[in-house]
Structure 1
């Protein structure tokens, strides 16, 4: 019987990076091959990120043998990525150059001799073997297994062309298909560059002070608690807290913000950000694999593995499309000679043309290259989209609900008014600040900051029996007296609904000015009213207006704040519906109601206390300016800065991606259909058929890469 340690080791998985993927079919085949390796329990290939996760034991040699059909190269994900070989120098492309040169020589020889002479045939044959060697290996293996993919179709077509004496056309088809595959490889490399560029943002080593000694060491050897020294013009290698110095940091790599942010002592800083002017000493708080940048890269790579609905459709379609093409090709090769007396060579030639033009290359690549490009571009602009399905869904939203505090407002409340009854102002703030030191509520920070501003010593007050009252406030005992601190609803319950009329009027007056009223009192009397206000974000009004312009039917503000304050803020920013006095479960119920009314509903919150509502929405969007773990884990989409305008960018990117995916699928099918129709009267040659397929692949690839141009 295994103990816990042995079981954990048994279930451990290892991640590898893979070079050489050209299509999702290749990735699927590789995954199946890896699963068959003795010692491997399970394997999962992430085509978009070019990653392989293996559960069990396997050597690099065994993994590369499993990928030999596509000449895949495998390396440990934790090792330094090898320098990429320039596209024009890659081994697969060098073979194309040689085969093309031989094709040209063969063409000249066919003029020197007649086309049926053995010498040009031999030359064409050598060109076919060099250019299509790996293709034939894959195609013949698949043919034996009755696995009819594009390699199988091309192998049958090329061998068939040689069998009926069309050696020249067979050679042209091989070369054009090789060029088409090279274009697919190049397009996926371009699409993945957004993520690969993120990997290169943070330095691989840093200047560290440890045990009073300064040394430059690799990031893998840096420990939590080490002191990192960052000079002006250098990038931070690790996450940490500033302990000495102040400087402006360019955080665009993490948040997408182009405006530098001032960082001073006790501020959090992130790996990959650029120190612009001052000398900083930073205490390292996370290991290299746990930095915010590492999490972003990991989540984006995982997002590319999530299949979008359009990708699922294409995969299902391709599953039935390829066998259908084979049946059509067989019928076109056999039926005409048997029933209308067409020449067998001519008829077989047309059947082979159907196989060539029927290759689903363009169709298969149409969706993944768009998804990978869009998600990578979004990450570079500070928007983390955690899957193709979320990329598609955010573009089809009908309603968006916003949390108020920290989302539509800055989330940094300040005390604006203090109305006292039986105590002076300093006594009230001392008491309220001391009690709120045990609270995590955003309004608590306003009271504590006010106490600091008045230079009050909160530690001299002993607070006992502190207890949070969900959605209403807190209570605690000070000097044997129980005090309550919370919203008017709390005191209505304490006083059985009878708050003094004059005090009630003061509360309403403050609330009408978009201020939140906190009451300090006991079970018998109200001691003070403390008004707190939160500033509305500059972008909130603009975002609500643009959302309405792009066709959203409903915008809703959800808040636990009182109705008057909520209405004042809602009116200022122009939101269509306001839901106030809500507990966390009330927000969840509002989202559920909106989902019954509309198919697509988003919830935008801070990713901490809005987790249930974020989860229940069609798309959960978190404001993640501080890179909080909760925001990154809970939300489907995270805005890595305080800029709500990026929500508009995400919707714009999604709609553009959906448009391009639909264009790609339509173009692929139209080109295939037209080409197939031209084969019936014999107007389409083999080389024109593969040229049509290559053209379709090139068109959908270039069309997808247009997503790299979408900016905020």
Structure 2
């Protein structure tokens, strides 16, 4: 399939009609034309000239088409139409109506010719949409001599069409600005020489040279240099992050002041930025159940309006001795009121704005359906490790029975050669005190229990209780052991051959933002927060109390997490947040799966929402934006239908005019578009 950018699409219905026409030509069956994105995807074998002709029937065209020069004349035509209308009004007052009619017709032709041509074609095919309604209304208005009002209707409908396209184009441009973060070229280093290559040609292992102000071309590791890097395009975090040798960097992030040499670890198509752009583009194409319903509703709604119009025209004269001309006038006004523009626009601009706004903040939502669901959740289930906690052990408490620094120095020296996460926690604790670990003279790892080593000619042991079986613990040490275990900490014991030197209580560090985020989620309307973890109960209880979740469940296997989620889903909409491979089944089961950005690929692929910051800080705001999108769509639908219903009710006393009809339709369309675009404003719906 080949992709093209299409300009000049005037409405969602028109785009769908064009798509159906493209389906009818050879190899056109699988073609898609999206009004939301302005993207056309067609089989490479399709005759592009035929596609161009079909697009041209609606004034649409392929952007940067070398065979065609295009500009949208609608704005200019509307301006001329308004001038001709003013001229017609003056001529009617000063000369005569017959001459003025020529100006009215010219004005109508300029602003409404496209609608008229499409409407006549639709009538010939017995297809009924808004162009058909407007065409019948214009013919009828001219037929009963309402030249002035018919011209105003044509101009206002042209303005309406222009503003409708402008609203969607504004939302598209906002999305395209997001997509412009993709770098196009990279400076590659080979044998001390540099050369510029297209970003698509980068391979894993290539070393690229990134100057100050340049974008890092793909995910990699810094192999030389030091600089601060702006990762806002990827994570939504505004503050730059210091990077030096050995640290990982994201493609698409901006190098601020220093020079960096980066070894590429992912080809561009697999990089974080490429995944973001792909997910965001895909998200625009998905339709929510509400959108699908609106499109089905609009399909039957238009013939229904035509039927109502027919009743308004015929019933009063036939049964209530009303004037046929007056009834025809009212019926034509009903046709205009019935245009479903605002109804069709009530959802797509709001959804596109919501997805774009969240993507700017580093929250990827894989489709409008997931954005809609995110705004409805009332329960959030969290995995513990790597989600509420950092997934990195640290020394939470230390008890020394000798000199504290000496005990820490011995423990760190024994652990310095081990790659175990608990060992690293003790070494990092020593570094906080400025202690440099020594190299043991003899070293032996005892699998599953700890380490025995000789240091300064003396034998020491460090490990869990299993390592010290048969060792006599004094009463005060036993009390301290019980206290550490009661706190839910993992206990590490360090001793020489005769006595216990110290105890370490090691815990998975809670993320700084977890408590505040959970409080903000409750404020945002989330009814309950639940922690699901495979860790033991004491640890789970301690973390749950510290962060303020509503409830917690511990010692769960992956399949047990799924069962617990299914129970929660019986009482409401449930989101699951996790980062590990073992969370993937739960993420897939929940109504909404939310993955941490630096989690495993399987979690990110399975999830419906991805937090690129790798922390929970942006989640409350993402939910608030989703709720606002849902509220806006509901209000848009109520507004669109409400204004139309109000205008239709005016037919009962005979007050409905063509002016009121077009203004009610135009007003609803403009208000719906503007309200949807306000979602793009960087206003915090939930304070952070």
Residue 271, structure 1, aligned to residue 251, structure 2: yes
> How do residues 595-610 of structure 1 correspond to structure 2 at under 5 angstroms?
595-596=569-570, 598-610=571-583
> How do residues 128-527 of structure 1 correspond to structure 2 at under 5 angstroms?
128-414=108-394, 508-516=482-490
Q: Deviations over 1:442-477 (max 9, x none)?
A: 77975998999987999x99999x9xxxxxxx899x
Question: For residues 192 and 678 of structure 2, what CA distance do their matches in structure 1 show?
Answer: 52
Aligned to 2:457: none
Aligned to 2:510: 536
Pick closer, same or farther for the CA change 1:613–1:52 going to 2, 3 Å.
same
User: Are 2:379 and 2:573, in contact at CA under 8 Å, matched by a contact in 1?
Assistant: yes
Question: For residues 694 and 121 of structure 1, what CA distance do their matches in structure 2 show?
Answer: 25
Pick closer, same or farther for the CA change 1:684–1:417 going to 2, 3 Å.
closer
Aligned to 1:22: 10
C-alpha deviation, 1:393, in angstroms: 1.8
Aligned to 1:109: 91
Decide which of 35, 44, 67 is 1:47's aligned counterpart: 35
C-alpha deviation, 1:122, in angstroms: 1.9
C-alpha deviation, 1:95, in angstroms: 1.9
User: Are 2:599 and 2:614, in contact at CA under 8 Å, matched by a contact in 1?
Assistant: no
C-alpha deviation, 1:238, in angstroms: 3.0
Q: Deviations over 1:522-550 (max 9, x none)?
A: xxxxxx99853221111111122222333
Question: For residues 20 and 579 of structure 1, what CA distance do their matches in structure 2 show?
Answer: 55
Question: For residues 562 and 477 of structure 2, what CA distance do their matches in structure 1 show?
Answer: 33
C-alpha deviation, 1:73, in angstroms: 2.4
Q: Which moved more, 1:55-64 or 1:657-666?
A: 55-64
Pick closer, same or farther for the CA change 1:503–1:66 going to 2, 3 Å.
farther
C-alpha deviation, 1:583, in angstroms: 1.7
C-alpha deviation, 1:637, in angstroms: 1.1
Question: For residues 609 and 266 of structure 1, what CA distance do their matches in structure 2 show?
Answer: 28
Which blocks of at least 5 consecutive residues in structure 2 are unaligned? 401-406, 453-461, 470-474, 495-501
User: Are 2:380 and 2:574, in contact at CA under 8 Å, matched by a contact in 1?
Assistant: yes
Question: For residues 147 and 273 of structure 1, what CA distance do their matches in structure 2 show?
Answer: 50
C-alpha deviation, 1:309, in angstroms: 3.1
Question: For residues 205 and 116 of structure 2, what CA distance do their matches in structure 1 show?
Answer: 57
User: Are 1:34 and 1:66, in contact at CA under 8 Å, matched by a contact in 2?
Assistant: yes
Question: For residues 353 and 604 of structure 1, what CA distance do their matches in structure 2 show?
Answer: 52
C-alpha deviation, 1:416, in angstroms: 6.1
Question: For residues 16 and 439 of structure 2, what CA distance do their matches in structure 1 show?
Answer: 65
Q: TM-score normalized by structure 2? A: 0.85
Aligned to 2:584: 611
Q: Deviations over 1:669-705 (max 9, x none)?
A: 1110111122343323213311221111111111111
Decide which of 523, 548, 557 is 2:522's aligned counterpart: 548
Decide which of 641, 647, 659 is 1:687's aligned counterpart: 659
Aligned to 2:61: 73
CA RMSD of aligned residues (A): 3.8
Q: Deviations over 1:591-633 (max 9, x none)?
A: 112112x221111111533111111111111111x38643432
Question: For residues 134 and 244 of structure 2, what CA distance do their matches in structure 1 show?
Answer: 63
C-alpha deviation, 1:434, in angstroms: 8.6
Aligned to 2:472: none
User: Are 1:292 and 1:627, in contact at CA under 8 Å, matched by a contact in 2?
Assistant: no
Pick closer, same or farther for the CA change 1:159–1:348 going to 2, 3 Å.
same
Pick closer, same or farther for the CA change 1:435–1:263 going to 2, 3 Å.
closer
User: Are 2:33 and 2:41, in contact at CA under 8 Å, matched by a contact in 1?
Assistant: yes
Question: For residues 88 and 178 of structure 2, what CA distance do their matches in structure 1 show?
Answer: 47
Q: Which moved more, 1:21-30 or 1:382-391?
A: 21-30
User: Are 1:511 and 1:565, in contact at CA under 8 Å, matched by a contact in 2?
Assistant: no
C-alpha deviation, 1:503, in angstroms: 10
Decide which of 591, 597, 606 is 1:634's aligned counterpart: 606
Question: For residues 170 and 627 of structure 1, what CA distance do their matches in structure 2 show?
Answer: 61
Question: For residues 92 and 138 of structure 1, what CA distance do their matches in structure 2 show?
Answer: 15
Pick closer, same or farther for the CA change 1:351–1:70 going to 2, 3 Å.
same
User: Are 1:436 and 1:447, in contact at CA under 8 Å, matched by a contact in 2?
Assistant: no
Pick closer, same or farther for the CA change 1:120–1:628 going to 2, 3 Å.
farther
SS at match of 2:222: strand
Q: Deviations over 1:252-290 (max 9, x none)?
A: 111111121122223222232121222111123344443
Aligned to 2:49: 61
Question: For residues 691 and 486 of structure 1, what CA distance do their matches in structure 2 show?
Answer: 79
Residue 651, structure 1, aligned to residue 615, structure 2: no
User: Are 1:402 and 1:558, in contact at CA under 8 Å, matched by a contact in 2?
Assistant: yes
User: Are 1:330 and 1:351, in contact at CA under 8 Å, matched by a contact in 2?
Assistant: yes
Q: Deviations over 1:650-672 (max 9, x none)?
A: 12111111111111111111110
Question: For residues 120 and 260 of structure 2, what CA distance do their matches in structure 1 show?
Answer: 62
Aligned to 1:669: 641
Question: For residues 642 and 173 of structure 1, what CA distance do their matches in structure 2 show?
Answer: 54
Q: Which moved more, 1:38-47 or 1:353-362?
A: 38-47
Question: For residues 663 and 608 of structure 1, what CA distance do their matches in structure 2 show?
Answer: 40
Question: For residues 337 and 660 of structure 2, what CA distance do their matches in structure 1 show?
Answer: 9
C-alpha deviation, 1:196, in angstroms: 0.6
C-alpha deviation, 1:58, in angstroms: 2.0
Question: For residues 627 and 658 of structure 1, what CA distance do their matches in structure 2 show?
Answer: 29
Aligned to 2:673: 701
User: Are 2:9 and 2:59, in contact at CA under 8 Å, matched by a contact in 1?
Assistant: no
SS at match of 1:620: strand
Question: For residues 255 and 539 of structure 2, what CA distance do their matches in structure 1 show?
Answer: 40
Residue 571, structure 1, aligned to residue 551, structure 2: no
